[in-house]
Amino acid sequence: MGTLKGLSLCTGLLLFLALPGTSTAGQGSITYEPGEGGGGEGKHIVFVCGEWEYRCEESLPMLAKILAKRHGFKCTVLFSTNAKDGTVDPSVKNNIPGMSILKTADMMVVFAMDLTLPDEQMKHFADFLETGKPVFGIRCTLLSFRYGKNSPYASFSTGNAGGYAPALFGEGWKGHYGQHGKESTRGLRCGINEKNPLLRGVYDVWGPTDVYRITQLPADATVLMYGQVLKGMDPNDPPNLQKAVMPIAWTRQINREVGKASRVVMSTIGAAQDMESEDLRRLYVNCVFWAVGLEAKIPQKADVSYVGQQWKASPFGGGKFKKGLKPEDFAVKE
């Protein structure tokens, strides 16, 4: 009888984990299964969360849950993890467990800064880029890695003229343009591309992080939004008219071989607090549909409402992360 009860319990657990929209926690990661419908066709998106300032450990699980529950994508979130106790620790720059799951991914979303991953983890990142599958970079991903010159991945290191970011995203790290922590960003739709389906339903974007400096983009870049520098940290603050607008969201289609192109998205706005902007979340969802080749399924106004309880981001800043939490603690509960 006890064995039967045990089998029933195991069977029930397996059935629960197979339900659409449920989440599971692996070593250093969480996975949301796709909800029913939504157009995402179960495409698997892997989020690499490895930066220490902008609270992506909070925002990416929220965004991944919206994409899974509302739009039918399968989403896995990987975290910078303390190897000693298994807690999510953005100050750890050399350990993101579970990178091998990129082998099964249809798309990678990267939110990274100053990482020095060991070779066995970094190899999965580099191998994914070689596939030509879509990549979406957020904010400080322009300065993802810092490797020494003797590392096999030295070419990925941040530099104004080097690193993988200029080749992939079309621009490297060129510094802050607005005053960091003092001047916020108003998103402005790119007028010549206002009919682009990626801007569908996207009008009101504001975030407390500052505008990044962009010096040049390649001819194949399509700018979706520009960032206007505001004189303060409130959405109603006046613009700083002494500063120009800078691209803050753009796409690329990089020709790899005849008939094939890699789809790339870059957004220099995107801290957790920025993602409280409904229209910024909508822009991200639209871009994911486009990146995986499902642009025909971009909704007229994508549902980006939070799943479960109302979500609130922690302020950006070094060392301000919530300590002692494990990946399952960041999983969105319905």
Q: How far apart are CA 333 and CA 253, in angstroms?
A: 36
From residue 274, give the alpha-carbon distance in Å to each of 64, 80, 185, 244: 16, 21, 9, 20
Average pLDDT over residues 81-90: 96
For residue 230, pLDDT beyond 50: yes
Joined together, the tokens standing for residue 207 give 């975030």
Sign of the dihedral through C-alpha 112, 115, 117, 123 = positive
pLDDT of residue 216: 93
pLDDT of residue 256: 79
For residue 10, pLDDT beyond 50: no
* Interacting residues of 92 by C-beta distance below 8 A, sequence separation 6+: 80, 81, 82, 83
What are the beta bridge partners of residue 187?
Answer: 205, 227
pLDDT digits (tens, 9 = 90+) for 126-166: 999 999 999 999 999 999 999 999 999 999 998 745 689 99
* Contact present, 72 and 41 (Cβ < 8 Å): yes
Q: Which of 91-95, 116-120, 157-161 has the lowest mean pLDDT?
A: 157-161
pLDDT of residue 161: 55
Average pLDDT over residues 23-39: 84
Give me the residue label for tokens 């579970």: 98
* Interacting residues of 133 by C-beta distance below 8 A, sequence separation 6+: 105, 106, 107, 108, 262
Confidence of residue 28 (pLDDT cuts 50, 70, 90): confident
Architecture of the CATH domain 28-175+249-312: 3-Layer(aba) Sandwich (3.40)
Confidence of residue 1 (pLDDT cuts 50, 70, 90): very low
Each domain of the chain, given as residue ranges in start order, spans 28-175+249-312
